[in-house]
Every structure is written in structure tokens, then in C-alpha cells.
Structure 1
Amino acid sequence: MSLSPHALVHTRNIVANWRAIGALVPGSEAGAVVKANAYGHGAGPVVTALHAAGCRTFFVAYVEEGAELRSIVGGDATILAFNGAGPDDANIVRESAILPVINSIPALKDWLALPNMPDYAVHIDTGMNRLGVRMEDVGELAALTAHAPPGHIMSHLVDSDDRSQPINERQLARFTEAASHFPEAIKSFSNTGGCFMGRAYGFDVARPGIGLYGGGPPAPAGVTALLPGMTLEAPILTVQSVSAGETVGYGATYTLDQARTLATVALGYGDGFPRSATNSGYATLGGIKCPIVGRVSMDLITIDVSDAPDLAKPGQFAQFIGAAVPLEDQARRAGTVGYELVTGLGHRVRRIYD
């Protein structure tokens, strides 16, 4: 019996989510964002499953991530690296056929000056003010690239989690205008939230990310809820009855107002589970909610199992993310987002693939 936490990674759910999100933007190809080790789920198995299901465009952050994927997907998929590439990356870009996303006019000039310049993409900044060629520089971009135009043009939505935000439509209008300068380029605009806003945001290639893994904004009305990409479980080590007035964990941050049954499980911030879930997160046993009591420590969490006494046994696994513990609900209780929760899970959490 293992006494360490594990994540059951549901590649079939991830593929089902990819198909469901893609269906919301008919006429667009559904790509997949698999950066940061497929959001902590394991890039190798996830990309293998998506590729087998028909996905042919993958997005990562770094060219090195892209090179690792190339050995998995072979030559029949497009891989784009959001953070771009410098001249020193030209060899790996060529060898692994990565499309770096160029994010500024100076970076573009450096890239265009390369001998035997590899193909590339360009990011247009339509409102994020983070990466990308600014809207006022799109004319210069078009002039500079007239002899070697980008194969892809993309932008990124600022607040697609809130479909009512006016900035979504402003960005759509800006991207449509900028993209008109590059009629032959493949255009990509929508993340998961963008896909939820419908066909107008889809363009040529949609790029769902967190939604593939069951997180992100709620699906719109009439759309089946996304499935969990993983189930995070940790084993109970001990179960004990503790009297009223006693405190739990470091710093005595939780005091029992009555006698309770507590279980200590093998999971902590050393595994990437956030310390900020102290006295706010929860686990489940057989679907019964068991709140976290006391401080999350490096290797251990204590949960109140008083409502599940028959299930709370040493060796029994408690669920911390999954069908009974939605990713975004757990993240919200920890004061963070689903992205951070799943990408932060460390190597001590063994991944098991279905």
C-alpha cells in the first residue's frame, strides 16, 4: 500500500474536453495548450492522447518544450512557442520545426536578419499590455514582413473568464483589424473562455488550455460541464479523536469547538498543495466533505472526518481534486486559480494514467 499522494490523470477526459470545446467554435481547428508539462498533468501522455484523437496544433511557452513534443508527435503537427525565440535558438527551432511567436518589433528584426530564417508566428497585443507587437506598430510589422510574412498571427484575451466584459469585443475588433494586414496567415485568438464566447472568436485555430484539464470559467448554459483532467488523492496516515478546546497543527490556527474525529493525510505544500488552503480547503471521503483544519504543512494535512467516520481509515485515500472536489472550487478556497494549483503539483505526486 502506497503512503504517498498520487494524481490519476484522465487522458480520456482531456480528449473529451478538447472535443467539447472545439465543437463550440465550428469552422475552427481545435489546438491544445500543453505548456508547463500539460498544466502539470504530464505532457507526454496527454499529447500522445490528443494527437491520437486528431489534434494537430500544440502550443507551449518555450522552444525547449516544443522540441520535447516533436519527438512525441512526429512531423505531422504544428508546434508554436508563445515566448518566442532569440537568434541563439535558431538551431533548435530548425531541427525541431518549432514556430516561435515573435512578440516585438526589435525581436522581429533580429529574426528576419537570420540566414535561412525559420518560419515564425507573430503575437499582436490587443489589450493585455504584456507581450506582442502593439496595435500602433502593425503597419510597420506588415511592411517589415512583406518579403517573409508570418505563418501565424495571434492575440490573447484579457478577461475571457467574464464574458460580459466589454474589453472582449474591443479586443476582437482590434485583432480583426490587425489580422486583415496578413490575409494568408493562420489566425488564432480564442483560449478556453474565448471558445465559450462562440464562433466569432474562433478564427482559424482555437487554443483551449485550462479547459482541457477541467478548469477555467464555467461553461455557458446548455454546454455540458467539463470533466476533471485529474483526481488528486492522498492517503490517510492516522485517525484520532480530539477533545474540544484542543488546537490543530503549527501555529495553533484552529481550535476545536467540540470533540471531533481528525485524520492526517500525506500531502502538503512540499507536494505543491498550497499552504493558503489552511482552514479553508477541503477533501472528500466517499463524496462527504471533510474540511482542512489547521495549517497545511510541508508533508501533512489534517482534515475533519467526523461526518465520515466509517470511511476514515488508515490507508484510505481522500480526494483533493476531482469529480467530488472541482478544481476551481478548491483553488478559490486557497485564494488562487486552477492553473496554479495543477501546475504547482510536484514530482512527489505520482502520476497514474488511465
Structure 2
Amino acid sequence: MRSVTITVDRSALRHNLAQVRAMAPDCQIFAIIKADAYGHGAVACAKALSTSDGLGVVVPGEAIALRTAGIQMPILVIQGPRTATDITICAQYDCQVGIHAWHQLDLLEQHATTLTRDLSVWIKLDTGMGRLGFFPEDLPRVQQRLNALTTVNVIGCMTHFSCADEPDNTHTSQQIARFNQTVPTPAKTRSLANSAAVIGWPEARVGWVRPGIMLYGSNPLASSHPLALKPVMHVTAPLIAVRDLKAGDTVGYGNTWRCTQAQRIGVVAIGYGDGYPRHIAAETPVMVGDQRCRILGRVSMDSLVIDVSQLAVEPRIGDAVTLWGPGLSVDEVASCAGTISYELLCQIRF
């Protein structure tokens, strides 16, 4: 068993959901818990998020795991079915599905008559993400084909934003306008807003919003739209050695850190084998107690080295070192790694 400890604060999760509710009081909420709830544990997070109006996942297997665990809330499978079996399973487990491509329509037409219960569908439109979705001009033909299927119930239309985390980028406004021109109000239920759009684009707060990363305490618009979000994940690992080095000594692979003076170091039992990024910048902060320390040299597979010279309290073997959590945001650490919080949260493991 590895030495990393990951603690998930469910009260913080509920607090962040309340922030979404306050920002979008007239909307229903699909709480997005794909990718094992961004690494936080899908079933536990689903239970903590029971006051949301539904849950969002990506593939049918994620939805089945929730249903098997007794989760009865509406579940949206965003990428929808890939096979005929997926169609049957989603209907059987009472899941809503996204339909974004012609081959999915073909599958539905081929197998809709075999369903023993209706399948609820969202039509996904590509308004400028350039990833998944029908082009807006194809919507009438898509609706016509779906409406012909007696076991398929079309709930509404959805889209996804490519630049909502860039408040000065006009592309999001163009996507919203394109969606509004295509989907008349109130003819269809709508779903546009991800976390960044919930925070920064009030005109996208309609119908069903789909917050993801903000539920876990990360704000994709922190510099321009500060929020009182709470960190949900706290990652710690133990201090396993404390050593005194002299001027000229080097630390780690490649001797990339050289002591310019006598220095006390600590070795922490976490590395890239645990999902902590190898390429993170030297001098990235960690915390020992309530004090910040810096990483020295390269991250190894099973360990990393920190500077404990300035600690007010003598470090002890077994002390918990915080990699991110209260007092040290995952967004700050992600910036030091040249990535985004989503990646760190999803790849860390114990």
C-alpha cells in the first residue's frame, strides 16, 4: 500500500453546490461526477450531492455503478450510447443520454423498437467547440428522426463551451447566440453552462446547468471572478527522512538542485508513481503544518525532497505534508506544473 492519503471533505462539496444554486437559482443542476467525480470518488460524491437535481457522467458504465450503489437521481450519460447494448442498458437503468452523431441516430432507429421502456434523449449541438455535436442547421432533421421513434423521448438540447474560462473571449457570446438562434425558447429544455459559464456568463444560466470542477473547489475564473469555494480534496504524504546537507551538496536526479549553504531537507513519500507530476517546477510549495516549504530538485517515482530549513517547529518523521488542500489550492499547484487542476485531481491516487 502506498503512503499517500487523500481526504474528501463532503461538507465542502455541499458548500460548493450551494454556491452554484445561489448563482443559478432558477436553474436545475446536473452535478458532474464523471471520471470518478474528478478523482474524488463518484458514489460518495453522488450521495453528498443528493440535493442537486441530477448527476452527469460520460459513459454508461459510470451510470451503472451509481445505480448499483442505490443512487436513484436522474443521471445524464453525456456522450451517450456507442453500441446497441449501451442503448438497452441506458433505458434499463433509466438514464438520460446525449446524442451527438448520426451513427447514434442510426443505432437508435435500429434498436428503439426492442426497448421495454422509453429512453430520454438530449440533442447535443456543436455551436463552436468543434468536438462532439450536430451542427445547428442539422437540428430539424435530427428532431424529425427522433420524433418518429415511439420509445424515445426528446428532453431538450445542450451544447458545450470552448472558451468560457476566458472572460474577454467573444467566442462564448457567439456560441450562446448561435444556440439561442437554433433552439427557440421555451420550445425545448436547454443546457449550456459548465462551471466557467455558471461563474462568468450569466446569460448561459438557463434550464439545466452542468457544474463540474467548481463543485470540487477549483475556480476556472479565479483571477476575474473570485468565489468562496472550499477545497474538497486534501492530499498528504508522510515525511520519511530529515537530513542536513552542506553547501555544494546536490539533491535528486540530474543534480538539478545544489545547496548554496548548509540546508536541512525532508524527504516526502510521494512521487510520480502516485500521480504527482514529475515535471512540476522546482520550488513548488507544499505545507508542513501551517507553514509553506518548497520542493527541491526533481520529483522521483516514490519521493520528493523539500526544504525544511525555515520551519518554526522541528520536523519529525511521520509528519503529514500537504501537497494540496486547505491553505494550498490545487489551482496554485497546477500552475506550477504547467497544467490545470482537473488533471491533478484525476491522476492522483493512493
State the TM-score, normalized to the length of structure 1. Answer: 0.91
Moved more, 157-166 or 309-318: 309-318
Asked if residue 158 in structure 1 is aligned to residue 162 in structure 2, the reply is yes
The secondary structure found in structure 1 opposite 2:129 is: coil
The structural deviation recorded for 1:223 is 5.7
Given the superposition, is the C-alpha separation of residues 333 and 179 from structure 1 closer, same or farther in structure 2, using an over 3 Å criterion? Answer: same
Rounded Cα–Cα distance in structure 2 between residues aligned with 1:268 and 1:213:
23
Asked if residue 78 in structure 1 is aligned to residue 79 in structure 2, the reply is no
Matching residue within 170, 187, 190 for 1:187: 190
The structural deviation recorded for 1:119 is 2.3
Residue 96 of structure 2 aligns with an amino acid whose one-letter code is L
Deviations along 1:157-209, one digit per CA (max 9) or x if unpaired, are 111111221011111111112222x8554311101111112542111111110
Rounded Cα–Cα distance in structure 2 between residues aligned with 1:176 and 1:158:
17
Q: Which residue of 2 aligns with 1:106?
A: 103
Asked if residue 93 in structure 1 is aligned to residue 93 in structure 2, the reply is no
Residue 92 of structure 2 aligns with an amino acid whose one-letter code is E
The secondary structure found in structure 2 opposite 1:151 is: strand
Percentage of matched positions with identical amino acids: 30
Residue 100 of structure 1 aligns with an amino acid whose one-letter code is V
The structural deviation recorded for 1:25 is 1.4
Moved more, 182-191 or 165-174: 182-191
The 8 Å contact of residues 219 and 225 in structure 1, kept in 2 or not, is answered as no
The secondary structure found in structure 2 opposite 1:113 is: helix
Rounded Cα–Cα distance in structure 2 between residues aligned with 1:133 and 1:206:
20
Given the superposition, is the C-alpha separation of residues 126 and 333 from structure 1 closer, same or farther in structure 2, using an over 3 Å criterion? Answer: same
Rounded Cα–Cα distance in structure 1 between residues aligned with 2:141 and 2:310:
65
Rounded Cα–Cα distance in structure 1 between residues aligned with 2:109 and 2:234:
46
Q: Which residue of 2 aligns with 1:336?
A: 339
The 8 Å contact of residues 239 and 317 in structure 2, kept in 1 or not, is answered as yes
Rounded Cα–Cα distance in structure 2 between residues aligned with 1:139 and 1:55:
31
Question: What's the C-alpha RMSD, in Å, of the aligned pairs?
Answer: 2.0
The structural deviation recorded for 1:106 is 2.8
The secondary structure found in structure 2 opposite 1:22 is: helix
Q: Which stretches in structure 1 are left out of the alignment for 5+ residues?
A: 350-354
Rounded Cα–Cα distance in structure 2 between residues aligned with 1:104 and 1:325:
42
Residue 3 of structure 2 aligns with an amino acid whose one-letter code is S
Q: Which stretches in structure 2 are left out of the alignment for 5+ residues?
A: none
Given the superposition, is the C-alpha separation of residues 160 and 8 from structure 1 closer, same or farther in structure 2, using an over 3 Å criterion? Answer: same
Residue 308 of structure 2 aligns with an amino acid whose one-letter code is V
Asked if residue 173 in structure 1 is aligned to residue 177 in structure 2, the reply is yes
The equivalences for 1:1-354 within 5 A come to 4-51=3-50, 54-75=51-72, 77-85=73-81, 86-114=83-111, 115-117=113-115, 118-148=119-149, 150-180=154-184, 183-219=186-222, 224-308=227-311, 310-346=313-349, 349=350
The 8 Å contact of residues 101 and 132 in structure 2, kept in 1 or not, is answered as yes
State the TM-score, normalized to the length of structure 2. Answer: 0.92
Deviations along 1:255-294, one digit per CA (max 9) or x if unpaired, are 1222211100111111111111151422112332211111
Figure out how many residues of one structure are paired with residues of the other and give that number.
342
Rounded Cα–Cα distance in structure 2 between residues aligned with 1:126 and 1:201:
13
Rounded Cα–Cα distance in structure 2 between residues aligned with 1:138 and 1:257:
66
